[in-house]
Amino acid sequence: MIPGPVEISPAVLEAHASPPPGHLSPRVIEAFGASLERMRGVWRSGPSGQPFVVAGSGTTAMEMAAANLVGPGDPVVVVHTGYFSDRMAEMLRRTGAEVRSVTSGPGEAPGDDEVRDAMEALLREGKKPRALFATHVDTSTGVRIDPRPLAHLARTYGALAVFDGVCATGGERFEMEAWGADVYVTASQKAIGLPPGLALMVVSERALAARSARKQPPPMVLDWHEWLPIMRAYEERRPAYFATPATNLILALDVGLREILEDGIDARIVSHERTGRAMRAAWSAMGLAPVPAREDLQANTLSALRYPAGAGPSLVARIAERGVVVAGGLHPEIKDRYFRVGHMGYAVTRTDMLVRTVEAIEAGLLGEGARVESGAGAKAVRSALV
Ligand code: PMP
C-alpha cells in the first residue's frame, strides 16, 4: 500500500506473466494498438491526442516532455508542490531553460494568482512563456492541485500546459481535451495498475507542433519524432521497430486499461473519490493529521499523514509486521515527520485491503505507544465504503 508500485489485479498479473513475446508478434501488435486507443479514453484527450508508450518510468516521461518542448533560454514556469515538481524544475534547468519557480511550503500549493504573476513578470521582461509545468498530485506531500485553471492560464499566455500525472492518471479527474492541457504524463505502476516499467503520456497537436518547431532535436531515445511512426504503426495494427518495447508490459497495459474502461473512466474516478473520502474518515477517527494544509488539496490516490504524538519513523516497520507495506516520508523538509499510504488502482476495488491497511496502521500506532481509539478507523472506512 505504498504510493506505487501498487497492488495489481489478477488479470493484469496473468497478462504480464507469460514468456516474453516478440515485439512483432500478433498478440503484442493487437495489445499495443488497443492500448493506444484506450489511453485516449483514460486521458480524455479526444481523437487528436497522441499517446506514447515507451519503456521507462515516470521520470522518463517527464524527461521526454522537457526534452521535446524546451531548449536553451526558453522561459518556463514551474508550480512547486513538493519533491517531484522540484525534480521537474531541475530537469528543465538542465535543458538550459530559464526556469521561474512558483513555490510553496510542504503541504501547500501556490495560488493561481501567484502563477499568473510569474507569467506577467516574464512578459514584462519581454519573454514569452513557453510552457507551464505542474504536478497533478505530488506524491511527496499528498497535495493535489487543480489542473484546470492552470491549463487555462497557460492558454491565456500562449504557453503549453504540461502536467505530471504520475500519481494521478486514472485516479484523479483529468479532462485533457476539455481543459486544453498539452501533455499529461504518467507511469505504469500507479493508478493505471501495472508493474513498473512503462512511461505513458498523451500529447496534444500543439505540443507536437512545438517539437516540430525545435531547431535542435532532443536526444534520440526521448524524441517524440522517433516514436511517432512506431505509435502510428501499432495503432494501424502494423509492427514497427525503433527500440524494443517492454512486451510483457504491453500485454498487461491492454488488460489494465480495459479494466479501467469497463465501467468507464468516470466510474473509476468516482471510486477513487469514495476511497479517498473513506480513508480520510479513518485517519480523522484515528486522530491522524494530513500533511496537505487544506481539505481541497488532499489527493484521493494517497494520504500523507503526520506521525501523532508517541509515534515516529519506526511506525512503518511496525505496520509491515502486520503484513501491510506503507511508505515513509519523502519531502526533505519534513521527511521524518510523516508517512504515506497509497490507495489507488486495483486497491480501490478491494474494501478488504483498505480495511486491513487501516487495522495494520492502528496496530502499528498502538505498538509505538500512540493513543488511538480501538477499531475507530476500521469502522469509519467500512461505513464509508460498504
Ligand atoms: N512524479 C510523481 C508525482 C511521482 O510520484 C513519481 C514517482 N513516485 C515520479 C514523478 C517519478 O516516477 P518514477 O519513479 O516512475 O520514475
pLDDT tens profile 203-212: 999 999 999 9
Rounded distance from Cα 153 to ligand 1 centre (Å): 25
Nearest to 102 by CA among 83, 78, 70: 78
Are residues 151 and 278 located together in one domain of the fold?
no
pLDDT category at 118 given cuts 50, 70, 90 is very high
Q: Does the pLDDT value for residue 333 go beyond 90? A: yes
Are residues 307 and 233 located together in one domain of the fold?
no
Last residue of a domain, one of 216, 241, 263: 263
Element (H, E) at 53: strand 50-55
Q: Does the pLDDT value for residue 364 go beyond 90? A: yes
Mean pLDDT of 38-64: 98
Residue 5 placed within a domain = no
pLDDT tens profile 230-272: 999 999 999 999 999 999 999 999 999 999 999 999 999 999 9
Domain span at residue 370?
A: 265-385
Are residues 177 and 249 located together in one domain of the fold?
yes
Question: Which residue has its alpha carbon closest to ligand 1 atom 9?
Answer: 58
Are residues 176 and 286 located together in one domain of the fold?
no
| Region for 244 from its dihedrals, namely left if φ exceeds 0, alpha if ψ lies in -120 to 50, beta otherwise | beta
Rounded distance from Cα 58 to ligand 1 centre (Å): 5
Q: Does the pLDDT value for residue 336 go beyond 90? A: yes
Residue 370 is part of a domain; what is its CATH number?
3.90.1150.10
Are residues 351 and 207 located together in one domain of the fold?
no
Are residues 258 and 269 located together in one domain of the fold?
no
Residue 276 placed within a domain = yes
Mean pLDDT of 114-131: 98
pLDDT for residue 294: 96
The answer to whether the CB of 100 falls within 8 A of the CB of 130 is no
Residue 112 placed within a domain = yes
pTM for the model stands at 0.98
* Residue 82 CA, closest ligand 1 atom number: 3
Q: How many domains does the chain contain in total?
A: 2
Last residue of a domain, one of 214, 237, 263: 263
Residues enclosing ligand 1, CB less than 6 A? 4, 57-59, 84, 135, 138-139, 164, 166-167, 187
d(CA 292, CA 309) in angstroms, rounded, equals: 18
Kindly report whether the peptide bond that precedes residue 218 is cis, defined as omega within 30 degrees of 0.
Answer: no
Are residues 156 and 289 located together in one domain of the fold?
no
Residue 258 is part of a domain; what is its CATH number?
3.40.640.10
Rounded distance from Cα 131 to ligand 1 centre (Å): 20
Are residues 179 and 247 located together in one domain of the fold?
yes
Rounded distance from Cα 2 to ligand 1 centre (Å): 12
Are residues 201 and 96 located together in one domain of the fold?
yes
67 contact partners, CB below 8 Å, separation of at least 6: 95, 218, 219, 222, 223
Q: Does the pLDDT value for residue 78 go beyond 90? A: yes
Are residues 50 and 179 located together in one domain of the fold?
yes
* Residue 57 CA, closest ligand 1 atom number: 15
pLDDT category at 386 given cuts 50, 70, 90 is confident
